[in-house]
Amino acid sequence: MALLTYRDALNAALREEMALDDRVFLMGEEVAEYDGAYKVSRGLLKEFGPLRVVDTPIAELGFAGIGVGAAMVGLRPVIEFMTWNFALLAIDQVVNSAAKMRYMSGGQVGCPIVFRGPGGAALQLAAQHSQSFESWYAHIPGLKVLTPGTPADAKGLLKSAIRDDDPVVFIEGEMLYNVKGEVPEGEHLVPIGKAEVKRAGSDVTLVCHSKTVTVALKAAEQLADEGISAEVVDLRTIRPLDTETVLNSVGRTHRCVVVEEGWAFAGVGAQIVDVVQLHAFDELDAPVLRVTGADVPMPYNKHLERAAKADPAKVIAAVKRVLYTGI
């Protein structure tokens, strides 16, 4: 095992896939000369040259469209958005071109493209730069949506995404880039559509993804001190959704709390609740509860921003409610 930061795990995935397949190239704002806004592409320009690591103007719709066209003719582009907030300018290419190309061509034209970049809140970036959009893209047939929460999953899922024959929305946690973790050395692939139990438990299931994996694990550690055993299920992939792992966990614990960074209305957690109540209703000993971001544009003030985010204390309070010990 190698100890890598989340950003270095992503860098390793890009480097390995570009070395393996000369159809893979990276394109986006500041990915080349500047080594990427978050240094994910550090050293790639020097190693692979300007034809495969391509700086673009500030024109998300334009370079996303170029990527879609390149994918249609057989290349495997990785399109970096400096933040998924800026990808709103390219959503037509992601949703109306990439996602629908295989269907509208009757299977004749594929679109093997990865759209990647940081999502969610960081620290005091305010309302326009702190949004979680995974539920938006997961709503679209034809898109796969990946949200790794650890360095190992970041590397393994990005490699799988680049090799996938369909368009992938790859949302990185903006506050995770400096997080370190063990990453298997050599070939390391994480299958798309497979959740993982990050911590076993018997009293309640915590379903989470991306940055809330850390939140859920911290909550589980604190709950353990009180004699409460929480199982942490990391979705890793939002679409396709691994319902089997979630349902198996709920079948063991009989209680469930869903933790997400995004807004509650029509969020990822709403889909999880629907799956659980539809397929595991008789297993439940309490209603499924959700811990989400506050239903407001993200405040700039650091105290209000902290209050708007999902945190371990909110998860612990929800767990005690489903256990009927904190009502």
Q: Are residues 255 and 156 part of one domain?
A: no
Q: Are residues 166 and 59 part of one domain?
A: yes
Q: What is the pLDDT of residue 1?
A: 85
Structure confidence by residue, pLDDT tens digits, 50-64: 999 999 999 999 999
In a domain, 191, yes or no: no
How confident is the model over 146-163, as a mean pLDDT?
98
Judged against a pLDDT cut of 80, whether residue 93 lies above it is answered with: yes
- Check if 254 is active-site: no
Judged against a pLDDT cut of 80, whether residue 73 lies above it is answered with: yes
Q: How many C-beta atoms surround the C-beta of residue 104 within 10 A?
A: 13
Judged against a pLDDT cut of 90, whether residue 262 lies above it is answered with: yes
Which residue out of 17, 60, 80, 172 is catalytically annotated?
A: 60
Rounded to whole angstroms, what are the CA distances from 186 to 155, 182, 213, 237, 267?
11, 13, 25, 23, 36
How would you classify the pairing of strands 230-234 and 196-199? Answer: antiparallel
Q: How many domains does the chain have?
A: 2
CATH code where residue 8 lies: 3.40.50.970
Judged against a pLDDT cut of 90, whether residue 327 lies above it is answered with: no
How confident is the model over 81-94, as a mean pLDDT?
96
Which residue out of 129, 174, 188, 261 is catalytically annotated?
A: 129
In this prediction, residue 25 has a pLDDT band, given cuts at 50, 70 and 90, of very high
Supply φ then ψ for residue 306, to 5 degrees: -60, -40
Structure confidence by residue, pLDDT tens digits, 279-308: 999 999 999 999 999 999 999 999 999 999
The parent domain of residue 305 ranges over: 196-322
CATH code where residue 288 lies: 3.40.50.920
Distance separating alpha carbons of residues 225 and 206, to the nearest angstrom? 17
- Check if 182 is active-site: no
CA gyration radius, the chain: 20
Judged against a pLDDT cut of 90, whether residue 172 lies above it is answered with: yes
Q: What is the pLDDT of residue 185?
A: 85
